[in-house]
Amino acid sequence: MGFRYAKCGIPSMTVDVRGLGVKCSECKREEAVVDLKYARKKLCGKCFSDFFVRRVKRTVEKYRMFGPKDRVAVAVSGGKDSVALLDALKKAFPEQDIVAFYIDLGIHHYSEHLREKVKALSERVGVPLYVYDLKEREGYVIDDFLRTKFRSKMCSVCGIIKRGVFTQMAAEVGATVLATGHNLDDTVGTMLSAFFAGDFESISRLKPVLKPLIPGQPKKVKPLFNTPEIEDLYYVVLNDLPVQECNCPHSFGASVSRYKRMLDQMEEGNPNVKYQLLSVFLKKLVPMYERVKSLEEGGVSAPLEVKECRICGLPTSSSDGVCSKCRRVALLKEKGGQKLEVSPEEVLEMLRRGERVMFIDTRKREVYEGERIRGALNIPREEFEANQRRIIKKLRRKYGKRAVFITYCYAGRESYPVAVALQRGGLRAYSLKGGISAWKEAGGEVETLTGVEA
C-alpha cells in the first residue's frame, strides 16, 4: 500500500509499505516491510510497531520525561508525528494519565478537517480530548494574520500562537507535562541550521526535556526526538491511524528545509549520520556551551529574567513585559479581520461597480475546458503551487494591483489556498463561496469551450 502524506512545510512524503522479500529479523516468521538501515534490521509490521513503542518508552524513562503522578498532555495537530506520538505513548504507558490537546486555528478548509481526524484518533486511543477554539476563545483566527506584516511568516506566527495556547491549556486542565511530536529530522535539521548561524542558544533549547521557565508551567518533553521522521509515517500507516490528508493553505508552496534535505543526502552514504550529529550536539556542544555561558555570568545561572506577560500572564522575557504572542495579536486589533471568501452576489456587485475582476479557475484543464466562468483564466492548483512566485509576479505585472482576483473551483478546497497565496503575494484576491455552481445559481455568466485549446 502506498501512502502520500502532506504536512505544513513538507510538500509530500511517500511511503510504500510492501514486502521486502525477506523474513523479519525479530520474529523470523512474517515477511519484513520496514528496512531500518541504521539498526541493521528488517522488520514486519507488528515487530516494527513494538520496536517503535519500546523506543518511546525507553526514551521517556531514560530522560525522566514524566513520572506516574504526572498528567501528560500531548499536543496533537493531526499530522503524522503527533498522531504516532499519542498512540505510542498510550501503548507504552497504558496506566498514565494522558490527555490530548488540539487547537482549532480557524484555518479554513483545513482546521475542520484536522479536528475530525484528531477526534477520531483520541476516541480510538482512548484519551480525553481538549479542544481550544481560537475564534471562540480569542476572537481571531490564523488567517487574519494575512492582513499584517507577518503574512510572509505565517508558520512562525502560528508557532508562537500555538506555544502560548498550549501553555494556557496546560494550566486550565492541570497538565504538568506537555509532550510534542518533534522527530529526529526536525531536531537535527534545526540544530544544523542554528549551528551554521552560530546560534548555540537555539541548539541548547532543542534538548529533549525543558524545565518550566516559571513554577506552575508544564515541563516540555519530546519523546520522538530520536525517532526518524519516516518512521512516524510508517507507524501511522501500519497501525491505520486517522491522520491529516490535506495541506495547510499557508504552507502552500513551502519547501523542506535546506538542512533537512542536506541530511537526507548525507544519510545515503552514512545511515547513522542523524544519530551521530544528534549525539555530538546534545552530549558535546550543548554541555560545553552551557558551561561557558555560566562562567561568563560568573557562575550565576538563570540569566533570563522571566516575568508574567502584562496582557495574558504567560511567561515572557521581553523588556516591555508583553509576550510575543500578545504583540502579534495586537496587530490584528489595529487591522481588523481578514476576508478571504466572497459570495457570488458580492462579485456581481463588483462587476456592476465596474471593478476590474479577473476570474481564476483552479480546477484541472479538462474540467475548465468543459465549462467555466466567462473570461476565466485557468491555473490548476498543482500548477500554481509549483510556480507560485512566477505566477504572482506575472499577474501583478499584467493586471496591476487594483485588479480583484476571484479564484474558484467546485467547493473552495482548491481555490481557497490559491487566494491565500495571492493575498500573501500582495494582490487583492478572494475565493468564490460555493464555487461555480453557486455562481450559476446567482445568475453569473458561464461559457463552454469543449475541445478548444485555451
Q: Provide the binding-site residues for Zn ion, judged by CB under 5 A.
A: 24, 26-27, 30, 44, 47, 309, 311-312, 323, 326
> How distant, in Å, are the alpha carbons of 35, 36, 118 from that of 42?
4, 6, 31
Amino acid in position 306: V
Nearest distance from C-beta of residue 23 to Zn ion, angstroms: 8
Identify the burial level of 165 via C-beta atoms within 10 angstroms of its C-beta, where 0-12 means exposed, 13-18 middle and 19 or more buried.
Answer: buried
Maximum alpha-carbon separation in the chain: 78
Which of 49, 244 has the CB closer to Zn ion? 49
Which of 23, 440 has the CB closer to Zn ion? 23
What's the CA gap between 207 and 287, in Å, rounded? 11
Per-residue cell: 73: 498532555
Which of 270, 317 has the CB closer to Zn ion? 317
Nearest distance from C-beta of residue 50 to Zn ion, angstroms: 8
154 contacts 250 by C-beta, under 8 angstroms: yes
Which of 321, 426 has the CB closer to Zn ion? 321
Long-range contacts (CB closer than 8 Å, 24 or more residues apart) made by 316-324: 317/213, 323/164, 324/160
Closest by alpha carbon to 63, among 211, 204, 216, 194? 211
Nearest distance from C-beta of residue 113 to Zn ion, angstroms: 29
262 contacts 192 by C-beta, under 8 angstroms: yes
| Helix 45-62 × helix 229-238 angle, to 10° | 130
* Backbone φ, ψ for residue 77 (5° rounding): -100, -20
Nearest distance from C-beta of residue 20 to Zn ion, angstroms: 12
Which of 164, 208 has the CB closer to Zn ion? 164
Nearest distance from C-beta of residue 26 to Zn ion, angstroms: 5
Nearest distance from C-beta of residue 31 to Zn ion, angstroms: 9
Which of 34, 98 has the CB closer to Zn ion? 34
Nearest distance from C-beta of residue 71 to Zn ion, angstroms: 24
Which of 209, 322 has the CB closer to Zn ion? 322
